[in-house]
Each structure stands twice: as C-alpha cells, then as structure tokens.
Amino acid sequence: MKFKYPKCIKYALLGLLGLSATYLTWGVAIEPHLIDREEHAAEIPNLPPTWEGKKVGLISDMQVGMWLGNTSTIRRIVNQLVEERPAVVLITGDFIYEPGKNPSQELNKVTALVRPLPEAGIPTYAVLGNHDYRIRNSKTTSQDEKLSTQVREALEAAGVQVLKNEAVALESPGKRVKLTPEENSKSSYPVCTAGWDCLWHRAKRDRSKGNRAGTNTNETLYLVGIGPHLPKQDKPNVALAQVPEAAPRLVMMHNPNSFDALSANTAPLAVAGHTHGGQINLLPFGLTPVWFLLTYDEEELVHVAGWIEDFGKPGNHLYVNRGIGFSRVPLRINAPPELTLFRLRSQY
C-alpha cells in the first residue's frame, strides 16, 4: 500500500519551494543591483564654515574576487559619486574578498573601480578591512600582512589615501596642502601619501608657532582612520591623540566593534561597514538577520546597519553602511547595496 501525503502538506511544500525560488531569484538577480541611496544630516561640533552643508560620501565592502561578484553595481555607485561630487569620499574596507593565487589581478580590478573618484578631483580616503588581510579571525601571518601592504600600495597608487590608526587634516573642500621639502626630510613619523597634510606635521607646526593644544586655529576638519578590528590592529586612542581636543573630526573604521573603544565626545560622526547589513534577512522590518547569525559573533549582532543606538560612549554617533559586495554566497535579501551621503552641519 502506497503512503499518500495529505494534500495540505503537498501544497505547503510546493508553496515553500516557490517561496524559496522567489527569494533566490530576487537575492541573486535583482536586489544586488538595486542601489539604496541614503542621505543623512550629521552634526559636527566646531565645524569650519567652509564645510557647512558639504557632503561626505560613504561606501564599503566591495569584496572584489567573490564568485559572481557585484562589480557592475560598484561601478554604478562610483559613477553616482562622481556625478554627485561630494567634498570627500570615505571607503571603509574589504576591497577584496579572496585574492586567489594572483592578488595583483584582483587588485587591478579594485583600482580600476575606485580610480574615477580621485581622477575626478574628489579626495578619497580608506581604511582596510579583515578581508584585505585575508583573515576572518584575530590571528595574522606574514602572508596576511603582505597582502594588506599590497592592497594599500595599490590603492595609494590609484590616488586613494589609506589610513591606519592615524589622522589627517582636511583643508577647505577642493584644496590640497603639500608638505614642504624641509618638513618631509626632518620627519621621523610616516608621512601621509598622496600629498595630503599629515596631522602630525600640522601639530608640529602649530607647536612651533605657539598655538595652544586643543585649538583649531586653521579652521580645519580632521579625519581619523582606525585600523582593522580583525586582526586586532585597531588603536583608536593612538589616532585620536593626533587630533586637537576641541577640533572637529570624522572617524572611520571597518568593524563597528572598534567604535566602543572611543572615548566620550570624540566621534560626533563615526562610520563603519563590515556587516553587509546582514546580507540575507529573510524577515524584513528590522528582525534579526539570519545570515548575520550564521556569519558573525554575538557581540556584533547589534551593529547591523544604519544609525546604531545604545552603543558606544556619550556624545559619539555611529553609522554602519551595508556595503556593496557579498560574503560566502552572492545573495542579498532585504539588504540592498548602499551609497550613503552625509550633509555636514555645525553643532553649537
């Protein structure tokens, strides 16, 4: 005698199969190519008048080298930024996913994708992520360090300045400041590349002129770049120590977990990536993302995307970008690629 399933079970299975096929089709073929353009106001204490109302662009997690990677969407987002012409663009790491046997091949793809930004005259800064070290944990090897050096050198050759636990002074939008040959030759501190003025040199000049620490006599906005949380190379206090106490600043990092180490009132606007916004969220409306549970540790579950509340010290504000690429599977559900624009305004 043949066992027959009740019709209700058959219909339920067919419905589940159809729903799965719909999710899969949407997540692979449609949503990865939808660009969510987010605009937010961000208040910065003591913001210089020249930065009032100016826009800061933010993108993250390109993950070039992932199978069925999302390079076409990266290209479209970069083109949108070129058209938008923000005062500065920040990229918060994970430029590559897996370098393979020939890292230079993937890095050539990365530089081709980001080069239009500096070529358009848009100051572009970056921090590296854990994938740029080829790791997903706290341990690092000489090969991992070698890869991160290759990523950094490739980006800087393309005109993108990479920061690691350091700060730079941003002059008025559109203006570049180069160090004098004398400052370059006398410095024992790594000189910032791409011709931008290192904050260390600015502080040195200010001290020599008798300017008090904690003042912002040059009406300068500072950018702080924090190293990767994995492999435990984030030293936010080292970077923040380079900024005058009362000076306005932006803070960028790859992993949101680095944010918690920032002292109170030191990061009025901090930005991060890493999470992909969960990447696969089978249930919308802010419910816990399934893929996030499978991919990240419990500590990171609260830092998925957007403005992160009830995290970090008083006076600090963190925004997490959902990124563009993929991790593990080329699928995005309820987590579309994101281009974020912040319009800066003064806080008195």
Q: If you write DSSP's letter for every residue of 16-60 in order, what string do you get?
A: HHHHHHHHHHIIIIIGGG--EEEEEEEEEET--GGGTT-EEEEE-
pLDDT tens across 265-292, in order? Answer: 999 999 999 999 988 887 764 555 555 5
With a cut of 90, say whether residue 57 has pLDDT above it.
Answer: yes
Q: What is the pLDDT of residue 122?
A: 96
Mean pLDDT score, 293-315? 75
Residues 6+ apart with CB under 8 A from 194: 118, 156, 159, 160, 161
* 209-213 contacts at long range (C-beta below 8 A, 24 or more positions apart): 213/244, 213/245
Domain of residue 247: give its range. 34-347
Mean pLDDT score, 27-38? 92
More confident residue, 70 or 7: 70
Report if residue 54 sits inside a domain: yes
Tell me which of 5-14, 141-150, 235-244, 299-308 is least confident: 5-14
Structural element, H or E, at residue 92 = strand 88-92
Report if residue 219 sits inside a domain: yes
The CA distance from 269 to 187, in Å, is 30
Report if residue 237 sits inside a domain: yes
With a cut of 60, say whether residue 224 has pLDDT above it.
Answer: yes
Mean pLDDT of the chain: 82
Q: pLDDT band at residue 174, thresholds of 50, 70 and 90? A: low
Report if residue 269 sits inside a domain: yes
Mean pLDDT score, 200-224? 53
Tell me which of 198-212, 223-237, 265-279 is least confident: 198-212
Mean pLDDT score, 123-129? 98
With a cut of 80, say whether residue 175 has pLDDT above it.
Answer: no
Report if residue 26 sits inside a domain: no
Q: What is the pLDDT of residue 219?
A: 80
Mean pLDDT score, 203-214? 38
What CATH number is attached to the domain comprising 105?
3.60.21
Q: What is the pLDDT of residue 185?
A: 40
With a cut of 60, say whether residue 92 has pLDDT above it.
Answer: yes
Q: Provide the domain count of the chain.
A: 1
Q: pLDDT band at residue 337, thresholds of 50, 70 and 90? A: very high
Report if residue 21 sits inside a domain: no
Report if residue 225 sits inside a domain: yes
**In 3-state terms, what secondary structure has residue 343?**
strand
Report if residue 23 sits inside a domain: no
* 25-32 contacts at long range (C-beta below 8 A, 24 or more positions apart): 26/333, 27/280, 27/331, 27/332, 27/333, 28/68, 28/330, 28/331, 31/332, 31/333, 31/334, 31/335, 31/336, 32/70, 32/73, 32/326, 32/330, 32/331, 32/332, 32/336, 32/337
